[in-house]
Structure formats: C-alpha cells, structure tokens
Amino acid sequence: MKYPSRVITIAGSAAGGSAGIQADLKTFQELDVYGMSVVTAIVGRHPETDKNVHPQTIEAIEAQFDTAMKQVGTDGLKTGMLFSKEVISTIANLIRGSNINAVVVDPVMVGKLDSKLLAEDAIEALKKKLIPLATIITPNIPEASFLLDDRPIQDVSDLKQAAVDLYSLGAKFVLVKGGRLKGPAVDVLYDGETATLFEAPRIDTVNTSGAGCTYSAAIAAYLAKGKSVAEAVGLSKSFVTTAIEHGFSYTEMVGPTYHAAARKHGEAHEIKITRG
Ligand code: PXL
C-alpha cells in the first residue's frame, strides 16, 4: 500500500474552526495528505477578560514537533501564527535540524477579526531566521507591505515589485497575494528570475475567514505530494477560490471559507496563468 504524503502545520488554534490549525487540517484532509499539528498558541477571546491569545510554552511546542517527527516523519511543513520571536527562533532551529524539503512560511500577522497574531518585536526574527529557510513565503498585501517597511501596494505592478524585493529575504519563491486589490484576484509568484501571475475572478463575499491559511496549507500539501512550486500554487489557488465561492456564516460574524467545497460541488476554478 502507498501511504498518503505527510504534512505538519505549525500554527495557532483558531477556536472558531475557520482559520489556523483547524483550517490547515481540514485542507490536508480534503487533499488526502496525512495532517499533523504543532499548536503554538490558542486563539479565542474570553468574554470577560478579553484575553485573545493564549501562547503555548516552548517546551510544549518542541514536544509536539518531536512527537510528530518521531511517530510519523514528514514530507512537508507549513507555518502560520507563530506569535513571538522566541517561538520563531525555536521553529527555525527545529526546521534546520530536520531536513524537510518543502517549507511554506505564511507570515500571518493579523487575523480577519483583528486578533494580533505576531508580536511587534518578532518581525526581525521572522525576516532573519525563518524566511531564509522557506521554500515559499505567502504574504498578503498588508503583510508584504509590513515586511517592506510600510511600502504602499496599490496595483499589480506594485505586487510584482514587492515580490521581487521580498525575494532578497532568502526564500526560494515569493507569492504575494493581491486578493485585497480591486478587480480580479491576482497573485504574483517570483523565483528570482521570472514573475508568474495567477488570476481568479473576484468573488463577492465577506465570508473569507481562513482563506490565507487554507491557501498556504494547500500549497504545503501539493508540495508534499511532489508537485512543483508553480503547479502547487495554481492547484491551491483553484482550491481556495472554490472554498471562498462557497463560504458561509452561521452567525452575523465573518464566516469561514468552505474547505469541502471542491469535493462537494465537484468543481475547481480555472486559474489564468501568465508570465509577467
Ligand atoms: O487567518 C489568520 C489566522 C491564522 N491563525 C490563527 C487565527 C487566524 C485568524 O483569526 O486565529 C490561529
């Protein structure tokens, strides 16, 4: 029997189930990879104290990674919410010590419901210690802008320039996601030589919680299955676009992307791919 490829997510637990570890594991399941998790923090707002981020200890983080690697091993890894510089350094050391080929770093900073997912003093560790170990980084516009000292990103040409400039941080590929621009949802992939544009139609919905997590989890899953980075990005954009199209909400709050959409509705969005 051929076993499914294996992927670890190192991220925060999002109690509402739409983002973070929960989105990642749902995505892994949909894409038939064996999912494992290292929880860095628990995100959930206490109704009285208002405390929203409940960090895990470095010991707990190391213990989870060690268990997953010893019990199973892995073909790929993604990082989401890491929160502190101590956690980022710990994760960078664990990755460096473990010979993993496919490393997706999603530099999450702020959640859709305004939860703060990265401490202010953690950005340097992210840039210097973790991003250089990445196969691919997947910032959205606010994250790319923040990594580039608050540079405004207002159109596709700014997206391309951001991808080119972020490449100097040392990741092998940079994917800057333009979902927050007007018009079609265009993402730019840059590999140090060529920019490739991935375009999907804009979907008119507010229910996009977890879209970024889902996208980077899908990329990690496809890389673990042996796809090239460009193939993994195209397939994952199609997957997440279908999930966004079928997003919904149980309450008046922003709701989740629907991870099972591609399976249930039997459709995958066409993605227009052009050299830019
Ligand atoms: O969507 C980004 C995100 C990532 N990780 C965790 C989150 C969120 C958004 O709320 O809670 C744990």
Convert the pLDDT of each residue in 11-40 to its tens digit: 999 999 999 999 999 999 999 999 999 999
pLDDT of residue 5: 98
pLDDT recorded at residue 87: 97
Q: Which pLDDT belongs to residue 112? A: 67
Q: pLDDT digit string (tens) for 58-73?
A: 999 999 999 999 999 9
pLDDT the model gives residue 94: 98
Mean pLDDT over 130-156 rounds to: 96
**What letter does residue 168 receive in the DSSP assignment?**
G
Secondary structure class of 157 (helix, strand, coil):
helix
- The DSSP line for 25-47 is HHHHHHTT-EEEEEEEEEE---T
43 pocket-lining for ligand 1 (C-beta < 6 Å): yes
Whether 180 contacts 142, CB under 8 Å: yes
Domain ranges of the chain: 6-275
Atom of ligand 1 nearest to the CA of 13: 12
At residue 113, the pLDDT reads 61
Q: Is 55 in the pocket of ligand 1 (CB under 6 A)?
A: no
- Ligand 1: centre distance to CA 7 (Å): 19
pLDDT in tens, 74-92: 999 999 999 999 999 999 9
The per-residue DSSP string of 111-154 comes to -TT--B-B-GGGHHHIIIIIGGG-SEE--BHHHHHHHTTT----
Contact in structure between 89 and 125 (CB atoms under 8 Å): yes
Our mutation pick for probing the ligand 1 site, out of 27, 42, 115, 259, counting the most ligand atoms within 8 A of Cβ, is 115
Distance between CA atoms of residues 270 and 276, nearest Å: 18
> For ligand 1, is residue 255 a contact (CB within 6 Å)?
no
Give the CATH architecture of domain 6-275. 3-Layer(aba) Sandwich (3.40)
Amino acid letter, 77: L
* Cα gap 30→140, rounded to integer Å: 23
Q: Position 204: which residue type?
A: D
- The pTM (predicted TM-score) of the whole model is 0.97
